[in-house]
């Protein structure tokens, strides 16, 4: 029987940032996307929220001054989210795509979806949901559709959107059903799809609402930085051929790591972001390898020695190195010279590295990624992370020309072990659940019953481009996003 140190702990948490490094790349990209996150994926919610709050306040103030009823507001918000989901499904009968990706509540109301498809009335009362406000409030604030105060206020931009929706909806009974309760069936869900479906912004009935939102998105802030610059870059990049967001990021990184690169603006910013992601993925691979090796308590030096005694066949198979010799017999100059830098400049092979490689090969791949990133900074100093950052310290450990590879591997493992313990104890001290993967007992580490799984931060650029497609500026296809005629008109207007 295997007994883990924290087996039976009442409250544990798998933890997404167990090294305290993901926050750096996420904060970097946040400055480029104007509040749009990895979960705020669809444009319709950006117009629904100011309309909902504006309508809520109007109804609450009818007959004079009213108190804010948060519970009643949440109930109405949940009813609206259910209308959005069901109208998105029924909207396919109007010629919409039927795409429910990014629709909130699609995992909560399976029974209601089944009832709608049987053409049965669905009760709008909901005890689940309500995530749209928390998910989309920051993009709405950044776009000046909402004001950041308590309770949230609806400024001029949000009021214009609300008025456009109000005019388009007229006296449609669905509005009373949202705010007072009621039912919806397939016919009524299909009828209101142009106004509530996630895919309905392209309907003629929503033209004014859509154009107001598109104008805010493309005109937000300084066009040379932030969301405005990112939007313009995405439109330009999609002008000649379909392009996937992940490809845009990878191509930017490759261009920035070319000698004499003059990359600037969003492409350079995304290259910097990708370097940070690569560093954190490499460090998480190191942590994952450590936890796998801890089938019994071991010292870090012992783990490093064991990991470096295995041949690095996978690096050769992946095409990132031409030398499969074990790391224990190699120096850093020899290891770096064996690397295929163009292959390492391509998108990291996350699933292969974390799921199929044994720990020794995970360490080899992690060191290859870090070495390539350090060389990229040598080529283009604009890519260098802040001097006191975790990423900078990790690159300094990997960029030791006078060291043997095993020395560097041990230093990296000590670094990730200390980062994990420091980060997790800090979180636990702040009241967060236990996410320890191991504890230290002198020089030895004891594994807990939680696994470590390396990963890369999901980027927000994809959601920026999905939102641009929702308002008709880009067209989403199997090969990526391409510029529409409406998008070309906007792009040409921005350039003039």
The CA-based angle 374-376-381, given to 5 degrees, is 95
Quote the CA–CA distance of 152 and 379 in Å, as a whole number: 47
> How far are the Cα atoms of 72, 168, 363 from residue 161, in angstroms, in the given order?
23, 11, 52
Contact 213, 471 (CB under 8 A): yes
Beta bridge partners of 243: 481
Predicted pLDDT at 57: 92
CA 106/CA 86 separation, integer angstroms:
9
Q: Which residues of 153-167 are buried (b: 16+ CB within 10 A; e: fewer)?
A: ebeebbbbbbebbee
Long-range (24+ apart) CB contacts under 8 A made by 417-420 are: 417/287, 417/290, 417/300, 417/445, 419/19, 419/20, 419/21, 419/283, 419/390, 420/18, 420/19, 420/287
Which pair of tokens denotes residue 256? 């920035």
Mean pLDDT (10-residue bins), the chain, 496 residues: 43 65 88 91 97 94 74 94 96 91 90 93 90 95 93 95 97 95 95 97 96 89 76 95 95 91 93 95 95 93 95 90 94 95 87 82 95 95 93 94 94 96 91 90 90 88 96 94 95 70
- The predicted pLDDT at position 197 comes to 97
Rounded distance between C-alpha atoms, residue 94 and residue 274, angstroms: 40
Residues 6+ apart with CB under 8 A from 321: 312, 315, 338, 339, 340, 364, 368
What 251-256 contacts at long range (C-beta under 8 Å, 24+ apart), as own/partner pairs, is 253/345, 253/376, 254/342, 254/345, 254/346, 256/376, 256/380, 256/382, 256/383
Task: For residue 449, give the DSSP letter.
Answer: S
- 8-state DSSP, 353: I
Q: Which pLDDT does position 63 carry in this prediction? A: 64
Q: What HEC string does 23-80 produce?
A: HHHHHHHHCCCCCCCCCCCCCHHHHHHHHHHHHHHHHHCCCCCCCCCHHHHHHHHHHH
**CA distance linking residue 216 with residue 221, whole number of Å:** 9
Q: Give the model's pLDDT for residue 481.
A: 97
Residue 2 makes CB contacts below 8 A (sequence gap 6+) with none
pLDDT of amino acid 350: 79
Between CA 130 and CA 36 the distance in angstroms is 18
DSSP 8-state code for residue 299? E
Tokens of 484: 């529409």
Instruction: Return the H-helix or E-strand segment holding 336.
Output: helix 332-337
- Structure-block tokens of residue 198: 């996630």
What is the pTM for the complete model shown?
Answer: 0.90
Q: Is the peptide bond before 151 cis (omega within 30 degrees of 0)?
A: yes
The answer to whether residues 395 and 374 touch, using CB atoms and an 8 Å cutoff, is: yes
Q: What is the pLDDT of residue 33?
A: 93
The whole-angstrom distance between residue 67's C-alpha and the CA centroid of its chain comes to: 37
Neighbours of 183 (CB within 10 A): 12
Q: Please state, in angstroms and rounded to a whole number, the distance separating the CA atoms of residues 359 and 308.
A: 10
Both tokens of 389, joined, read: 């950052």
């Amino acid at each position: 029987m295997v007994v883990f140190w924290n087996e039976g702990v009442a409250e544990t948490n798998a933890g997404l940032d167990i090294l305290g490094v993901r926050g750096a790349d996420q904060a970097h990209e946040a400055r480029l996307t104007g509040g749009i996150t990895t979960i705020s994926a669809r444009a319709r919610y950006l117009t629904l929220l100011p309309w909902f709050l504006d309508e809520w306040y109007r109804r609450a103030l009818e007959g004079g001054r009213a108190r804010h009823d948060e519970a009643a507001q949440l109930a109405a918000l949940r009813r609206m989210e259910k209308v959005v989901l069901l109208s998105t499904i029924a909207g396919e009968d109007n010629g919409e795509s039927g795409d429910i990706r990014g629709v909130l509540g699609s995992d909560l109301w399976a029974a209601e979806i089944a009832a709608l498809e049987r053409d049965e009335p669905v009760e709008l009362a909901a005890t689940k949901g309500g995530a749209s406000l928390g998910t989309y409030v920051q993009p709405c604030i950044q776009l000046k559709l909402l004001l950041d105060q308590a309770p949230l206020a609806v400024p001029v931009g949000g009021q214009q959107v609300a008025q456009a929706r109000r005019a388009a909806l007229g006296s449609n009974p669905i509005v009373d059903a949202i705010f007072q309760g009621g039912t919806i069936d397939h016919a009524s869900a299909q009828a209101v799809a142009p106004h509530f479906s996630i895919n309905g912004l392209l309907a003629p009935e929503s033209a004014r609402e859509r154009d107001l939102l598109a104008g805010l998105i493309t005109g937000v802030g300084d066009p040379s930085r932030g969301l405005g610059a990112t939007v313009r870059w995405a439109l330009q990049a999609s002008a000649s051929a379909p392009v996937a967001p992940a490809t845009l990021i990878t191509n930017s990184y490759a261009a920035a790591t070319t000698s004499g690169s003059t990359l600037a603006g969003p492409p350079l910013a995304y290259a910097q972001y990708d370097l940070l992601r690569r560093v954190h993925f490499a460090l998480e691979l190191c942590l994952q390898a450590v936890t796998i090796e801890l089938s019994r308590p071991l010292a870090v030096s012992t783990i490093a020695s064991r990991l470096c005694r295995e041949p690095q066949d996978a690096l050769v198979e992946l095409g990132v190195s031409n030398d499969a010799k074990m790391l224990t017999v190699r120096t850093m100059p020899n290891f770096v010279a064996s690397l295929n830098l163009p292959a390492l400049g391509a998108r990291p092979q996350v699933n292969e590295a974390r799921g199929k490689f044994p720990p020794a090969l995970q360490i080899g791949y992690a060191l290859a990624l870090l070495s390539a990133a350090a060389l990229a900074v040598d080529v283009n100093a604009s890519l260098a992370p802040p001097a006191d950052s975790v990423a900078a310290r990790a690159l300094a450990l990997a960029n030791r020309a006078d060291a043997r590879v095993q020395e560097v591997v041990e230093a990296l493992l000590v670094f990730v072990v200390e980062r994990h313990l420091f980060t997790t104890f800090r979180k636990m001290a702040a009241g967060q659940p236990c996410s320890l993967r191991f504890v230290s007992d002198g020089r030895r580490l004891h594994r807990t019953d939680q696994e470590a799984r390396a990963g890369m931060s999901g980027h927000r650029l994809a959601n920026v481009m999905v939102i641009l497609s929702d308002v008709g500026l880009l067209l989403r296809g199997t090969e990526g996003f391409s510029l529409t005629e409406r998008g070309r008109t906007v792009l040409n207007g921005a350039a003039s």
